[in-house]
């Protein structure tokens, strides 16, 4: 007999989680959003609260959770360096205990489970672009380790639950993603630059700005999530999801200044410890496995709508 799929999204009140909840509701699922509101906010999901097939639960994933669901997207974890370094022990606990609890839940109810892993598992990469078989160059005791090693350990747990208990797992390694609902104060480069430009403040480039990143607009990423979740059990990942278009941080600053028409100047600050010098996903595996999936939104268009979002936010809240 047909019934709606019940889908749990942890971290569902965050930037990516809230967009994912929206997409899953549009597809006719029952969506349960679980979040402790550490970096997420009700504002991101307030428009979903009166939808009959949406449910919100305040809960910290480091504690057990007993529910009946068909699929789990495990996104709970602060994602920006400022936030994940604020309480590094809690960050590791969120990745590791959170994974154990969600895997325990998936095992008990037989749910498919998706893990939001990260390109940070590659650390400061010596292989470029990064392919999934590259094992990474992570400093296990540095300030980023709580995030990088927490996510690496979560991957280990996912693969052990898969091998040991036969769980249907989907591990996505997400590369830098941006768009509306990014936290304005989380210090990530796209939001920082746009907010600085809109306020006419100096644009803070860390280091000489020659380090690179590859930025994916959130709609392309969410499409990848849903397609990966729909694959059969033989597809476990890890799978890179991101946009292979690579630019230097300096170039990004110049584009933002140009697109906002700002008079901001570039200023240079120290590069944070262990900041990766280059990053670009090889998405061959995703393209071949997810029916030709690849990002379709250009940096120009993605930045355009993100600038628009922050312009409105500033007009509303200053
Ligand atoms: P975000 O900070 O906006 O969202 C994370 C959400 O998790 C927030 O709503 C937060 O309140 C919640 N959360 C944190 N700790 C929790 C806990 N212990 N229990 C319950 N909820 C908790 O970040 P985002 O950019 O939306 O990232 C979502 C996921 O994607 C994260 O797992 C992140 O590591 C991963 N990721 C994101 C990017 C990116 O560029 N945005 C890149 C790689 C990986
Ligand atoms: N767990 C949970 N919800 C469930 C089932 C399990 O939160 O529906 C948690 C529980 O705290 C447990 C963890 O997941 O410690 C791992 O579960 P598993 O069955 O793998 O191991 P065990 O119960 O033996 O520790
Ligand atoms: N960055 C910067 N100025 C800022 C914020 C970040 O130059 O105001 C740099 C940062 O040092 C890094 C890159 O931009 O080299 C991307 O930083 P972000 O924190 O967005 O993502 P991550 O380092 O996790 O990829």
CA of 49 to the centre of ligand 2 (A): 29
Q: How far apart are CA 297 and CA 284, in angstroms?
A: 18
Judged against a pLDDT cut of 90, whether residue 231 lies above it is answered with yes
Class of residue 136 by CB neighbours under 10 A (exposed 0-12, middle 13-18, buried 19+): middle
**If you average pLDDT over residues 218-237, what whole number do you get?**
98
pTM to 2 decimal places? 0.98
Q: What tokens appear for 318 in the block?
A: 């200053």
Task: Output the CA 2–ligand 1 centroid distance in Å.
Answer: 32
Catalytic site positions: 147
Tens of pLDDT, residue by residue over 11-43, are 999 999 999 999 999 999 999 999 999 999 999
Q: Which residue has the tokens 């609260």?
A: 49
The percentage of the chain sitting over the pLDDT mark of 70, rounded to a whole number, equals: 100
Does any ligand 3 atom lie closer than 6 A to the CB of residue 81? yes
- Report the pLDDT value the prediction gives residue 158, as an integer from 0 to 100: 99
Among 206, 255, 267, 273, residue to substitute to test ligand 3 (most atoms within 8 Å of Cβ): 206
Q: Which atom of ligand 3 is nearest to the CA of 272?
A: 11
**pLDDT tens digits for range 56-65:** 999 999 999 9
Per-residue model confidence (pLDDT) at position 69: 98
Q: Are 177 and 217 in contact (CB under 8 A)?
A: yes
Kindly list the structural domains of the chain, giving each domain's residue range(s) and its CATH number in brackets, ordered by start. Answer: 6-177+217-243+275-296 (3.40.50.720)
Check residue 127 and give its pLDDT: 96
Indicate the top mutation candidate among 147, 189, 249 to test ligand 3's pocket, ranked by most ligand atoms within 8 A of CB. Answer: 189
What pLDDT sits at residue 2?
A: 85
Q: Which residue puts its alpha carbon closest to atom 17 of ligand 3?
A: 189
> Rounded to 5 degrees, what are φ and ψ at 216?
-110, 135
């Amino acid at each position: 007999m047909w019934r709606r799929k019940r889908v749990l999204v942890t971290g569902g009140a965050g930037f990516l989680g809230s967009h994912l909840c929206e997409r899953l509701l549009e597809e006719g699922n029952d969506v349960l959003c679980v979040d402790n509101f550490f970096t997420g906010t009700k504002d991101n999901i307030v428009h979903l609260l009166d939808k009959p097939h949406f449910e919100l639960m305040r809960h910290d994933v480091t504690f057990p959770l007993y529910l009946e669901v068909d699929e789990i997207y495990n996104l709970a974890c602060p994602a920006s360096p400022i936030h994940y370094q604020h309480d590094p022990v809690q960050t590791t606990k969120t990745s590791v205990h959170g994974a154990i609890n969600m895997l325990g839940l998936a095992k008990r109810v037989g749910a498919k489970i998706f893990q939001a892993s990260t390109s940070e598992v590659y650390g400061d990469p010596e292989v470029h672009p990064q392919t999934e078989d590259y094992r990474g160059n992570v400093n296990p005791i540095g300030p980023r380790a709580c995030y990088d090693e927490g996510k690496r350990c979560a991957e280990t747990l996912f693969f052990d639950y898969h091998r040991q208990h036969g769980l249907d797992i989907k591990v996505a390694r997400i590369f830098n993603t941006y768009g509306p609902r990014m936290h304005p104060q989380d210090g990530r480069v796209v939001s920082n630059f746009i907010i600085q430009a809109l306020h006419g403040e100096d644009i803070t480039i860390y280091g000489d700005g020659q380090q690179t990143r590859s930025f994916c607009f959130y709609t392309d990423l969410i499409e990848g999530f849903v397609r990966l979740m729909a694959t059969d059990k033989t597809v476990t990942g890890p799978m890179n999801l991101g946009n292979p278009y690579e630019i230097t941080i300096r170039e990004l600053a110049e584009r933002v200044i140009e697109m906002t028409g700002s008079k901001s100047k570039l200023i240079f600050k120290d590069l944070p410890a262990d900041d990766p010098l280059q990053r670009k996903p090889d998405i061959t595996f995703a393209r071949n496995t997810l029916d030709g999936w690849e990002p379709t939104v250009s940096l120009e268009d993605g930045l355009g709508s993100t600038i628009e979002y922050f312009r409105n936010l500033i007009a509303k809240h200053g």
